[in-house]
Amino acid sequence: MRKVALTLLAHPDDAEIQCAGTLLRLRDLGWEIHIATATRGDCGTMTETPERISQIRTLEAQNAAKVVGGTFHCLDEKDGLVCYDKPTIRKATDLMRRIAPSLVFTHPLKDYMMDHEMIAMVARAASFLYGAPNASTLPLVPGSAVPHLYYTDPVGAIDPLGKPVTPTTVIDITDKLDKKVEMLACHASQRDWLRAHHHMDEYIDSMKRAAAERGKLIGVPAAEGFVQHRGHAYPEDDLLKSLLG
C-alpha cells in the first residue's frame, strides 16, 4: 500500500477543523500528507475583494499544511458554486492521478452546505475512477488503486435535518490537539468572517468542543469521527482503526 493520504474538502480550514488530528497521527507513521480544497475561499470575507481574500486564504492553507509536513492543492472552483460536473470531476481525477492516494478523506454526502455535498460526490467519483488507465491522460503511478474512503463528521455532528450522525470510526487525537489548534490558527482571516456571517466566535474553542464530544465515545479527551465508505470495489477493512487504534 502507498502511504499517501489526501483530504479533498471544500474550503481552506475544513481539513484543519475536521481531520487534522488524524493527519498528524498518520504523518507520525510516515504517511505523505496532501490537503486539497475545491476553492480558495473567495467568499470568506466581509471586507476584502475575492482576489485578495483568495490570496490570503491560500497562504493560510499553505502555512497550515506545513505544520503537518503536507502539501496544499486547490481545484480553483468558486465558493458557493462547487458542482458535481465533468470539469470538476476531471480536475479531482487528475489530482489523484498525480499523487495516487491510498487513503482519502472528504465531507459527508449530506452536510449543512452544498459546497461540502458537491465535493464529497466529486471525491467519491474521482477516488473510484482515478486508477483506471483511461481515466486521465496523466501517467498511472504504480500502486494506484481504489483507496480507503472516509467521510468526516458533518459540522455539529448532525445531518442537514438535525439528526445525529454516528461515526463508524473514532480516532484519539488527544496528543495532537495542540498541533491541530496550531494548524487551525493559521486561518486567522476566518475569525472575523465567522463572527460577522455565522454569528459565532472563537472557532478554535468550537473545534475543541467538537473534539471533546467525539472523545466521549471512546473515553478520551479529544477525538475525530469518520464514516467509512464501503461500497462495491472499495476496501472494507477499517484502515484507520488498524493503523491508529
Q: Where are the domains of the chain?
A: 4-244
State pLDDT tens for residues 145-189: 999 999 999 989 999 999 999 999 999 999 999 999 999 989 988
Q: How far apart are CA 230 and CA 225, in angstroms?
A: 16
Phi/psi of residue 64, nearest 5 degrees: -65, -40
DSSP secondary-structure letter at 164? Answer: B
The CATH number assigned to the domain with range 4-244 reads 3.40.50.10320
**CA 204-113-238 angle, 5° bins:** 75
Calculate mean pLDDT across residues 19-31.
Answer: 98
Distant-in-sequence, close-in-space partners of 58: CB < 8 Å, separation ≥ 6 = 12, 40, 72, 74
Three-state DSSP class for residue 36: strand
Q: What is the pLDDT of residues 120-145, one digit of tens each?
A: 999 999 999 999 999 999 999 999 99
Cell of residue 118, nine digits: 458537491
Model pLDDT for residues 34-76, shown as the tens digit of each residue: 999 999 999 988 889 999 999 999 999 999 999 999 999 999 9
